Amino acid sequence: MRAATIRDGEVGVEDHPDPVAGAGEVLVRIRAAGLNGADIMQRKGKYPAPPGSPADIPGLEFAGEVVDLGAGAQRFARGDRVMAIVGGGGQAELCQVHERQLMPVPEGLDWAAAGGLPEVFTTAHDALFTQGLLKPGERLLVHGAAGGVGTAAVQLGARGGARVTATVRDPERREGVAALGAHEVVDPEGFEEHGPFDVVLELVGAPNLPGNVKALATGGRIIVIGVGAGAKAELNLIALMGKRGTLRASTLRARPLEEKAATARALETQVLPGFADGTLTVPVAATFALDAVRDAYERFQAGGKLGKVVLETD
């Protein structure tokens, strides 16, 4: 098979042996695979794949068709449209994955949207509702809301009955984020003046932390799942104590199978119906052929986009 391959800090396309579905696994012919910040970090050597995932093939999410079943696998049949998050290896023509990590692709969703759905919506849903305990009527702040996880979080927060404020640096992207359900879209500078917030979803990184604490409502929760702008900050613990606030941080990639399966089942029951009825969407900023993977990575890093950058393998 052909796959995006990281060599010496660069990404290109190389031939690899075809993977084989093991016990309980499914082999998927990949049609589309989304790019994420973790792929950029892995290319730079800062985020290695977890044990059991390919060390040199990036890709945390994909969508495609089942082409083979390992021993004991029975949740899906050959030809089924499926999607999943994986520890790596998603930006390829083939990928094997445990059947419990797979989800059905909702009817009417095209390959590009399906390939850009699993990682960002699973991450956003887990952060908002499992980690952040977001409730209807609460106020939610989403930083970096024009990116993949940000656009998912805005939609899920609004769908869950929260009042959503989103920070977006590029003025040209604010209208698009508002159309996804944000009640207020603001410049990142001075965001704390728009609080207080019950939940703050931090997708940018450490520079926002002092402002997040200042903007926090009493009993509020800060959930950190992105640190692209920096990982170290000074935290005033007295201010956090005064808010009786909670600071949590989370990643998805290295979780064990049981936990990944639980997030997949939560997405199936609580989120995927929103794609079937048209109340949720996957904004796709750009698509690239697998052979143009280097251009796709450059587009992802260039910024100024609303939603996902997706590789298509056809």
- Residues serving a catalytic function are 47
Dihedral Cα 51, 56, 58, 60, nearest 10 deg: -10
Q: Which residue has the tokens 């023509």?
A: 93
| Contact criterion met (CB below 8 Å) for 202 and 178 | no
CA–CA gap between residue 275 and residue 254 (Å, rounded): 27
Assess contact for 265 and 139: CB atoms under 8 A: no
Angle subtended at Cα 191 by Cα 299 and Cα 204, rounded to the nearest 5 degrees: 35
What is the DSSP secondary structure assignment for residue 92, as one 8-state letter? Answer: B
**Hey, which bits of the chain come out as E strands?**
2-7, 10-15, 25-34, 61-69, 81-85, 94-98, 102-104, 139-142, 163-167, 184-186, 197-202, 216-224, 246-249, 284-289, 308-312
Alpha-carbon Rg of the chain, whole angstroms? 19
Q: Which amino acid is at 163?
A: R
